[in-house]
């Protein structure tokens, strides 16, 4: 029985057993109504470039030729009864580099009293989104006009992000949070299933894992029952498309469909740990729409199930941990690569030599961002920088149990973050490819999973998750 039915029965004043039971329910419902443990504020902004900034994520020059739909950035501010706040930003960006997100984070304390640990800046890793700052800078030929356009657009987006966070905080109003989970299966482990074989492997039921097909869902509802936002996640690269048209790839289609189904609500997507997962088969708008629809249906199915309310209380913890490189490159290593047939590697070597010439000393490790947010006693949101492979989500969900969300692609693009298994196997996500991201090394040290797990465990303890 829902609240409205029970209230109507109560008003009828019947003395039957059923109405007594209904009256008891009303008591609960009213008490529940009074206790609205959260405030939530939502803001949205279009981020589609107006000028010819190239599309990001594939190693070539990709000038835009139009748009399928707009690209979006959205922010969800949450405040508990004690005034503790967080802001989660989701976006249709391919990769937000530290050089950009730091410019946002450093403005937030003075403007909105939000410290670094209170804000998570996520990006879907959409490969039909625009270039930003020095993200994947060696992927693209250097053309003066483009360099200036990327700089201009990045500065605009820094301002827009700061304004968006302010708007979300200004919009804080009473809300209830509730969780659910759906499932959809289009993500394929791209390391263990050759792309050309995937249609056959699907037909035979022989796809190999590991995968994470869960679709975690969090709803934000106003006290009158109006749905204000749906946050949802999936572990998969938004690489269905590789053309030159602005588009949010499958998360863009999913968000648009959910917002159409629920007028006025914001649909917000986070890429959970999809570093080694691809939407396969791919490369057509029809497939992209199909995957977006599959994800939207998984969210709608999750919304049809009994939702688990998230009780009050917010705790946050954040740390930059050091991720060591296996071996930092030197001038001799770089000189040998100046004529490399891989143009990304050759551009990287030349740029790194320039940095050495300018007096830069290459660091031996990278500061890696980790977040833990505890919402009530029901939800633990772990935020991790960069392209985390699926093993991280599977590991932390197992370790910390139901209610755990593990988001990759937070705050900083950095590189692939292999698990120990993927590092040992090597290949694209585990091997010698850090140069692609402009790092001063080819590989991470093999112990990074241990370091990350120790970091996450410390933060999770600090927020007091299920002690
Ligand atoms: Zn990627």
5-24 confidence digits (pLDDT tens): 333 333 333 333 433 343 33
Q: Please give the distance, rounded to the nearest whole angstrom, from the Cα atom of residue 125 to the centre of ligand 1.
A: 7
User: How many angstroms from the chain centroid is the CA of residue 341?
Assistant: 34
The mean pLDDT value for 253-281 works out to 98
Q: Please give the distance, rounded to the nearest whole angstrom, from the Cα atom of residue 35 to the centre of ligand 1.
A: 43
So what's the pLDDT on residue 34?
53
The mean pLDDT value for 57-83 works out to 97
The answer to whether 133 touches 144, Cβ cutoff 8 Å, is: no
**85 pLDDT higher than 80:** yes
Q: What percent of the chain has pLDDT over 90?
A: 92
Q: Which residues, in sequence order, are bridge partners of residue 406?
A: 382
The answer to whether 127 touches 88, Cβ cutoff 8 Å, is: no
Q: What percent of the chain has pLDDT over 70?
A: 93
**Confidence class for position 219, pLDDT limits 50, 70, 90:** very high
Q: Please give the distance, rounded to the nearest whole angstrom, from the Cα atom of residue 432 to the centre of ligand 1.
A: 15
Q: Please give the distance, rounded to the nearest whole angstrom, from the Cα atom of residue 277 to the centre of ligand 1.
A: 9
Q: Please give the distance, rounded to the nearest whole angstrom, from the Cα atom of residue 387 to the centre of ligand 1.
A: 6
Handedness of CA 340, 342, 348, 350 (dihedral sign): positive
The mean pLDDT value for 184-188 works out to 98
Rounded Cα distance between 95 and 100, Å, is 10
The mean pLDDT value for 303-312 works out to 97
So what's the pLDDT on residue 29?
39
What pTM was estimated for this model as a whole? 0.92
What is the per-residue pLDDT across 379-406, written as a single tens digit (0 to 9) for each? 999 999 999 999 999 999 999 999 999 9
- Residues 6 or more apart from 370 whose CB is under 8 A from it? 318, 319, 320, 321, 382, 383, 384, 385, 452, 455, 456, 459
So what's the pLDDT on residue 244?
97
Q: Please give the distance, rounded to the nearest whole angstrom, from the Cα atom of residue 32 to the centre of ligand 1.
A: 43
Q: Please give the distance, rounded to the nearest whole angstrom, from the Cα atom of residue 389 to the centre of ligand 1.
A: 10
Judged by DSSP in three states, 449 sits in helix
Q: Please give the distance, rounded to the nearest whole angstrom, from the Cα atom of residue 413 to the centre of ligand 1.
A: 9
What is the per-residue pLDDT across 25-40, written as a single tens digit (0 to 9) for each? 333 333 454 567 999 9
Rounded Cα distance between 156 and 47, Å, is 9
The mean pLDDT value for 184-197 works out to 98
**49 pLDDT higher than 50:** yes
């Amino acid at each position: 029985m829902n609240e409205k039915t029970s209230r109507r029965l109560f008003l009828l004043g019947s003395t039957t057993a059923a109405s007594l039971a209904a009256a008891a329910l009303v008591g609960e419902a009213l008490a529940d109504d009074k206790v609205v443990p959260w405030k939530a504020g939502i803001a949205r902004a279009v981020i589609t470039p107006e000028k010819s900034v190239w599309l990001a994520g594939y190693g070539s020059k990709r000038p835009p030729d139009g748009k399928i739909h707009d690209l979006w950035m959205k922010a969800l501010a949450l405040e508990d009864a004690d005034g503790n706040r967080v802001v989660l930003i989701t976006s249709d960006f391919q990769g937000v580099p530290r050089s950009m997100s730091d410019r946002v984070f450093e403005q937030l304390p003075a403007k909105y009293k939000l410290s670094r640990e209170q804000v998570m800046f996520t990006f879907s890793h959409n490969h039909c989104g625009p270039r930003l700052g020095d993200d994947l800078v060696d992927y693209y030929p250097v053309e003066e006009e483009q360099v200036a356009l990327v700089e201009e657009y990045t500065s605009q987006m820094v301002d827009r992000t700061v304004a968006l966070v302010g708007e979300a905080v200004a919009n804080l109003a009473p809300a209830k949070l509730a969780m659910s989970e759906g499932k959809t299966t289009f993500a394929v482990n791209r390391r263990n299933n050759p792309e050309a074989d995937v249609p056959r492997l699907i037909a035979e039921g022989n796809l190999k894992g590991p995968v994470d097909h869960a679709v975690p869902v969090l709803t934000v509802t106003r006290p009158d029952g109006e749905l204000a936002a749906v946050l949802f996640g999936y572990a998969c690269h938004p690489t269905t498309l590789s053309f030159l048209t602005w588009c949010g790839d499958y998360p863009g289609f999913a968000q648009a469909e959910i917002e159409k189904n629920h007028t006025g609500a914001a649909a917000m997507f986070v890429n959970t740990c999809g570093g080694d997962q691809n939407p396969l088969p791919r490369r057509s708008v029809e497939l992209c729409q199909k995957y977006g629809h599959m994800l939207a249906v998984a969210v709608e199915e999750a919304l049809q199930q009994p939702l688990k309310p998230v009780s009050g209380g917010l705790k946050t913890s954040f740390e930059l941990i050091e991720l060591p490189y296996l071996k930092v490159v030197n001038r001799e290593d770089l000189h040998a690569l100046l004529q490399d047939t891989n143009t990304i590697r050759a551009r990287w070597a030349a740029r790194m030599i320039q940095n050495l010439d300018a007096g830069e000393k290459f660091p031996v490790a990278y500061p890696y961002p980790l977040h833990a947010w505890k919402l009530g006693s029901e939800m633990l949101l772990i935020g991790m920088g960069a392209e985390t492979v699926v093993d991280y989500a599977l590991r932390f969900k197992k370790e910390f149990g139901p209610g755990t969300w593990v988001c990759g692609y937070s705050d900083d693009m950095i590189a692939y973050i292999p698990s120990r298994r993927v590092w040992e196997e090597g290949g694209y996500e585990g091997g010698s490819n850090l140069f692609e991201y402009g790092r001063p090394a080819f590989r991470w040290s093999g112990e990074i999973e241990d370091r990350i797990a120790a970091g996450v465990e410390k933060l999770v303890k600090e927020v007091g998750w299920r002690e």
